[in-house]
Amino acid sequence: MGQGPSIRGDLARLYIAHKRDLALDDWSDEQVVAEVNRITSALVACAMVAMQRDDRAWLERYHWASEAFERLCDDLPATHFNA
């Protein structure tokens, strides 16, 4: 996955490839692109709940999303917080 502005594009392509997993079969690719931020927010929130509940079935089903988010984080420059 790339950096910067292409992150949304990378995520859109990933979500389009996994429309069936996301129950978005009836969405057009354009709809997926328009809703990348909402899809990402929903996946991150669900992943957090799944980790808290140790929901291994959910984590396995959406492993492709977790792996993509990890790659994105690895690709982004570190942010240092100075008080």
| Structural tokens at position 81 | 């917080």
| Domain chopping of the chain, boundaries | 6-73
- How far CA 24 is from CA of 17, 70, 82, in Å, comes to 10, 23, 42
Q: For residue 34, what pLDDT is reported?
A: 96
pLDDT digit string (tens) for 11-66? Answer: 999 999 999 999 999 999 999 999 999 999 999 999 999 999 999 999 999 999 98
